[in-house]
Amino acid sequence: MAVMSLYTSRGFHPSLTDWRNHSRFWEGRVEHVELGYELSGRCFGASRSIACTRWCRTVVSCDSGRASRGISAGAGQAEVDSGAHPVKFRYDVMLSEVSTWGIGGPARIYAEVSTPDELATVLRYCTCHNVRWFVVGKGSNCLFDDRGFDGCVILNRINFLEKLGTGRYRVGSGYAFNTLGVQCSRDGFSGLEFAGGIPGTVGGAIYMNAGADGQETGDVVQNVEILTTSGVSHSLSRDAGELKFDYRFSPFQKMSDFSVIVAATFDLQPNSDAKQRQRIYLERRKRTQPVTEKSAGCVFRNPGAGCQSAGALIEQAGLKGVAIGGARVSEKHANFLINGGGSKSQDVQALIALVKEEVHKKFGLWLQDEVLYIPYNQEQQL
């Protein structure tokens, strides 16, 4: 079972305005750099003459009601200043470094955030500058393009945990889902035992409604805090009927103004067997899944009631061990595609297509992807 840590697609919809119009390396003096300011929720452009030495990059943060400019003095880095919440931008970071598949070219812009305010700062900046963005947690269950991402990749490090009372945990969306499952089980609470060994984040687990062993994330989520596309904080509650989950589905996948999950509150039940059950699930996962190899977890969704699992169908189609380039179908669990060394994104895409075709030929049904392919640019997405 895999978790989609890369849990928001809303960053795709702004069209990409060439980043070089806003900030780039220059030899000598920059005469005119387009700056996007946000004032009372509106973005507008301005032009200024900015002195900039070699290896300096000029960036602007869009902060509610004001604009500020930060200039870094290091090659390949810049700082977005938002009052008490500065965020450093890096450039051309290889996405293979933040992907469990170990695949992906460079991100044009890259930022790590550890608080909701830092996340909001980067999102406002990207929105003001029409820069595509994508939030990634552990980088599982997503496939980056070999060319990278022509926008801003935001690594979510909002990883706090608060114990609110008996069985109630408020957790940052960047918190490791595996760690949460182990923690709750050791505390003697049931509902997330299945999370042990899953390489994702809380945000990804909620967005995809991750589940296994008869449990699902959505069953124990009480409250979810999000940012909307307009940058407004909003909280959704189970008690208010706002959190309706289904198999690998959450309401955030269809929410028109959804931007990103920030935090969530879980409500678990006391159970003296939780710790032992979590260990049993984890040991079985280690025996039956290629947990030590580079993968994105399960690649295909299970077809549903009355049908065999996707892994069983792939195995019966004789595809275990089949490879294209550096990508191959795992001999241990057929629903895992492995980067056996030097695999490219196009290898994985071709192998996914082959698996779908062969399963369709044998069983007459088309498998659906559980992983998400992240295109390099807006045009490729369309």
3-state secondary structure the chain: CCCCCCCCCHHHCCCCCCHHHCCCCCCCCEEEEEEEEEECCEEEEEEEEECCCCCCEEEEEEECCEEEEEEECCCCEEEECCCCCCEEEECCEEHHHHCCCCCCCEEEEEEEECCHHHHHHHHHHHHHCCCCEEEECCCCCEEEECCEEEEEEEEECCCCEEEEECCEEEEECCCEHHHHHHHHHHCCEECCHHHCCCCCEHHHHHHHCCEECCEEHHHCEEEEEEEECCCCEEEEECCCCCCCCECCECHHHCCCCEEEEEEEEEECEECCCHHHHHHHHHHHHHHHCCCCCCCCCECECCCCCCCCCHHHHHHHCCCCCCEECCEEECCCCCCEEEECCCCCHHHHHHHHHHHHHHHHHHHCCCCCECCEEECCCHHHHC
What are the pLDDT digits (tens) for 319-337? 999 999 999 999 999 999 9
pLDDT at residue number 339: 97
- 370 catalytic? Reply is yes
pLDDT at residue number 77: 63
Higher-confidence residue: 58 or 125? 125
* Cβ-Cβ contacts under 8 Å for 325 (sequence gap 6 or more): 342, 343, 344, 346, 347, 350
pLDDT at residue number 52: 25
pLDDT band, very low/low/confident/very high, at 80 (cuts 50, 70, 90): low
Among candidate residues 118, 193, 216, 370, the one labeled active-site is 370
- How far apart are alpha carbons 138 and 169 in whole angstroms? 20
pLDDT band, very low/low/confident/very high, at 305 (cuts 50, 70, 90): confident
CATH of range 302-366; options 3.90.78.10, 3.40.50.1820, 1.10.150.120, 3.40.50.720: 3.90.78.10
Q: Which two tokens stand for residue 196?
A: 């042990």
What are the pLDDT digits (tens) for 84-136? 567 899 999 999 999 999 999 999 999 999 999 999 999 989 988 999 999 99
pTM over 0.85: no
Burial of 19 (0-12, 13-18, 19+ CB in 10 A): middle
Among candidate residues 298, 328, 358, 379, the one labeled active-site is 298
CATH of domain 161-275: 3.30.465.10
**Other Cβ atoms closer than 10 A to 2:** 25
Among candidate residues 132, 248, 285, 328, the one labeled active-site is 248
pLDDT at residue number 85: 62
Higher-confidence residue: 124 or 69? 124
Residues of the chain with CATH 3.30.465.10: 161-275
Residues of the chain with CATH 3.90.78.10: 302-366
HSE, side-chain direction, 13 A CA sphere, residue 256? 0
Span of 1-15, 183-197, 285-299, 343-357 with lowest mean pLDDT: 1-15
Mean pLDDT of 43-68: 28
Q: What is the residue type of 211?
A: G
